[in-house]
Structure 1
Amino acid sequence: MADPRVAAVDGFTEKKHQVVPSKLDPAKVTLLNTFTVCIIGASTGIGEHIAYSYAKARAATVVISSRSLSDLGVVADNIKYINKDVNVEVVECDVSKAASVEALAHYVRTHYGRLDVLVLNAGYAGPVTVKMDQGNPEWVQKAFDVNAMGTYLAAHYLVPLLLETPSGAKGFIAVGSVAGCIRRGNIANTGYTISKMAQIRLVEYLNEQYGEAGLVSLAVHPGAVKTRMAEGNTPEEFLPYLTDDVALCGAVCVWLSTRLSNIGWLSGRLISATWDMDDLMSKQKQIVDRDLLKFALLTE
């Protein structure tokens, strides 16, 4: 049986998108000439295309990182092809290691002295395990190390720089997942889904702790995208449903980045890149009044 929580999230806006709509085309955006974005987990797939979206929007500096440098060189070359004027920095970072994330923060601080937006895309799913007595505990441990602890470490070391940046956008965007809402079914991968739920909760905590200081923290579901990680861990029967454009999440991240000063009311919540953004904005009163798009313990 499908999980009704996932269906509710999927249908939150009447209009939805599988590809980048014209109004969200990052090439139509011009970010400030000091705009600096750091993307953790940018070597392939969604993270790679998030970097391309910021390049199209003419960010001044795009810092791309992952735990392996092997694919980042190609991504950097592609960014320069898209926008020859952008400054691209390649930095190794394993988001599950405190020293590595601290080194990334130190690099950005000492080389640029500013950070407008952090996009945390690094993630780990592991083989699908729908029973706790099955699979390998190491898969679950790694999911929590990357998805949950990695979010904490990114916040611990990089939120101070976001807040200290003069006239900065102050955006913390975690590429989350509606999987954090899943409890049942053939893709209810225990370690992944629960660690993603923890990630979304951490994003809410960021708003509670730093929202008054101007930080806007968001978890963004990228859609159902056939990435390398998804293809390697998704049951065969579910693969035909992975039909959303890999570039959609990046376009939404850029769109959000241009509006951070006006969407503090959305901070601390989970949204989907497949939602129509105008429809989402039109629901502001409903979302705020009922405190929607967050996890809650039901009592009635």
Structure 2
Amino acid sequence: MTDIDRIALVTGANKGIGFEIARQLAVAGVRVILGARDAGRARTAVDRLAAQGLATQSVPLDLNDPTSIAAAAAAIDAENGKLDILVNNAGIVDPADGAPSASAPDAVRRILDTNVVGTLAVTQAMLPLLRRSPTGRIVNLSSSLGSLTLNGDPTSPYYAARLIGYNASKAALNMLTVQLAEELRGTPIVVNSVSPGYVKTDLTGHTGYMTAEEGAKLPVHYALLGADGPSGRFVGPDGPTPW
């Protein structure tokens, strides 16, 4: 299978690192579908890529709307009959998130509903299509903030970043990676958690030290893993990340 035969869905792809992941996959010759809640922003993203000579398409996709998720899966099935790559990039933060003693429970609930339950729902909807691929790939965009080891290490730079909602959502996303990789053992589908690093995006308030282009490279690498690619890993720019 050549790259041009591969079909990828990138969630939350209308901006930031999701857009850059979509762009880099398209440059590699993959047929990319941009998933986004806002149809207007999705069209703008597709137009931006078209201006660079990259043909992509979009599909309405809201992680908090089961009807939207089912419709996206049906649309991909009808047009392509399969899916080779799923990049679960979409996620949110909330200004009311914070330390366990101060975080608003409603904010934590919103974050978990989107980042964990929504991602699980999308993955479940796309799995039948991924099973039709000879080299299915699932990349879950995680964060070092989701590492229990690093959160509990006073010498870690992540130790003071106490965002109970966001950090817990990424830890739960890692659990999805571990369990799904084990469930799919023996199939062509591999599943990995990838922390892109501290990237300058809207989600980080543009306070990161990496550009979106730099941050997208590792998720793209894992999206394009060969037949002998590892599964069930948690990796970041500096290598394997402790769970």
Q: TM-score, normalised by structure 2?
A: 0.88
CA offsets 1:244-289 (integer angstroms, 9 cap, x no match): 12112432233333333111xx3112111x23xxxx5xxxxxxxxx
- Is 1:222 matched up with 2:196? yes
| Matched residue, 1:49 | 20
**Deviation of residue 198 (structure 1)?**
0.2
Query: Contact 1:38 / 1:64 at 8 angstroms: preserved in 2?
Result: yes
Counterpart Cα distance in 1 of 2:220 and 2:170? 22
Write the letter of the residue equivalent to 1:32. Answer: D
Counterpart Cα distance in 2 of 1:70 and 1:187? 34
**Deviation of residue 293 (structure 1)?**
4.9
- Unaligned runs of 5+ residues in structure 2 are 153-157
Query: Contact 1:56 / 1:83 at 8 angstroms: preserved in 2?
Result: no
**Deviation of residue 185 (structure 1)?**
4.5
RMSD: 2.1
Equivalent position SS for 2:62: coil
| Matched residue, 2:234 | 270
| Matched residue, 2:178 | 204
**Deviation of residue 179 (structure 1)?**
0.9
Q: TM-score, normalised by structure 1?
A: 0.72
Partner residue of 1:172 out of 138, 160, 163: 138
| Matched residue, 2:155 | none
| Matched residue, 2:42 | 72
CA offsets 1:22-63 (integer angstroms, 9 cap, x no match): xxxxxxxx952211111111011000101110121122x211
Structure 2 CA distance for partners of 1:123 and 1:157, relative to 1, 3 Å: same
Partner residue of 2:93 out of 125, 133, 139: 125
Query: Contact 1:200 / 1:269 at 8 angstroms: preserved in 2?
Result: no
CA offsets 1:141-183 (integer angstroms, 9 cap, x no match): 1110111112211221111210123x3x200011111110235
Query: Contact 2:83 / 2:130 at 8 angstroms: preserved in 1?
Result: yes
Counterpart Cα distance in 2 of 1:209 and 1:262? 18
Counterpart Cα distance in 2 of 1:229 and 1:255? 22
Partner residue of 1:83 out of 36, 48, 53: 53
Structure 2 CA distance for partners of 1:226 and 1:254, relative to 1, 3 Å: closer
Counterpart Cα distance in 2 of 1:293 and 1:131? 23
Write the letter of the residue equivalent to 2:136. Answer: K
What is the count of residue pairs matched by the alignment? Answer: 235
**Deviation of residue 98 (structure 1)?**
2.3
Query: Contact 1:223 / 1:244 at 8 angstroms: preserved in 2?
Result: yes
Counterpart Cα distance in 2 of 1:64 and 1:31? 20
Query: Contact 1:159 / 1:172 at 8 angstroms: preserved in 2?
Result: no
Write the letter of the residue equivalent to 2:52. Answer: I
**Deviation of residue 128 (structure 1)?**
6.0
Counterpart Cα distance in 2 of 1:294 and 1:159? 27
Write the letter of the residue equivalent to 2:126. Answer: L
| Matched residue, 2:165 | 191
Counterpart Cα distance in 2 of 1:217 and 1:161? 15
Q: Point out which structure has higher relative CO (alpha carbons under 8 A, 6+ apart).
A: 1
Counterpart Cα distance in 2 of 1:269 and 1:65? 25
Counterpart Cα distance in 1 of 2:137 and 2:242? 18
Write the letter of the residue equivalent to 1:137. Answer: P
Select the structure that is richer in helix.
Answer: 1
Counterpart Cα distance in 2 of 1:155 and 1:129? 26
Equivalent position SS for 1:90: strand
Counterpart Cα distance in 1 of 2:109 and 2:35? 22
**Deviation of residue 135 (structure 1)?**
3.5
Equivalent position SS for 2:138: strand
- Is 1:113 matched up with 2:81? yes
Equivalent position SS for 1:95: coil
* Identity across the alignment (%): 24
| Matched residue, 2:221 | 255
Equivalent position SS for 2:9: strand
